Amino acid sequence: MIEDRVVASAPTSLLTVISIFIFFTMLLATVGLYFYKSILSKQIVQMNTDLALAKNRFEPTKITELQTLDKRLRGSTEILNKHIAVSPIFEALEKNTLKTIRYTKFDYTLSTDRNVTTVDVAMKGQAVGYRSIALQSDLFAQNKQLIDPVFSNLTLDNKGNVLFDLQFSVDPTFIDYKKMLAENNLN
């Protein structure tokens, strides 16, 4: 007689199937990430090698020289932007001074307020008479670059000449060295 045996199998639950699926997915992801990491490591090594070769192609001494030159150029540009030229004041005085007026002393003071440089001029001089000073005052009043010219301390010397003090300010654009260079290059 043959006996039939019945082998009973345990029913597979849905939770077991999902667990096995997740296990194999994680196993495949781990293997994939391992290989991806090794590929990235090789790329990093290759890029470091390429970077070292590119760095050696440039001359480090030349780069240092160019950086120094750049600093010097920036410094000179800054100096040029802040530099003033007093010579236009002398040119204006030369053009606008009467023959009967003579200057004996010239002083100027620079002051900077909010990155605007102004020049205040104080002068002493001698004139043939009071009429010369009045005419000179009118001439200076017509000049837009000389701001508020004031003649003061009018006294006579022993020869009959009038001694005076003169004070005025100068328009900041009038003494801008950069502007003066540009105008001279145009002429």
SS3 string, 69-127, reads: HHHHHHHHHHHHHHCECCHHHHHHHHHHCCCCEEEEEEEEEEEEECCEEEEEEEEEEEE
Of the candidates 155, 115, 114, the one whose C-alpha atom is nearest the C-alpha of residue 133 is: 155
Taking the C-alpha atoms of residue 44 and residue 50, their distance in angstroms, rounded to an integer, is 10
Q: What angle do CA 67, 71, 77 make, to 5 degrees?
A: 140
Q: What is 84-186's CATH number, 1.10.3720.10, 3.40.50.300, 3.30.980.50, 3.40.50.880?
A: 3.30.980.50
Q: Could you read off the pLDDT tens digit of each residue along the chain, which spans 187 residues?
A: 667 676 656 667 888 889 999 999 999 999 999 999 999 999 999 999 998 888 777 777 888 888 999 999 998 888 877 777 788 888 888 998 999 999 999 998 887 777 767 788 999 999 998 999 999 999 988 888 888 899 999 999 888 889 999 999 888 777 777 777 777 766 5
For residue 177, the model assigns a pLDDT of 76
Q: How is the chain split into domains, by residue range? A: 84-186
For residue 187, the model assigns a pLDDT of 59
Does this model's pTM top 0.75?
no
Q: Could you give the 3-state DSSP secondary structure of residue 46?
A: helix
For residue 52, the model assigns a pLDDT of 84
Of the candidates 116, 38, 121, 48, the one whose C-alpha atom is nearest the C-alpha of residue 82 is: 116
For residue 166, the model assigns a pLDDT of 94
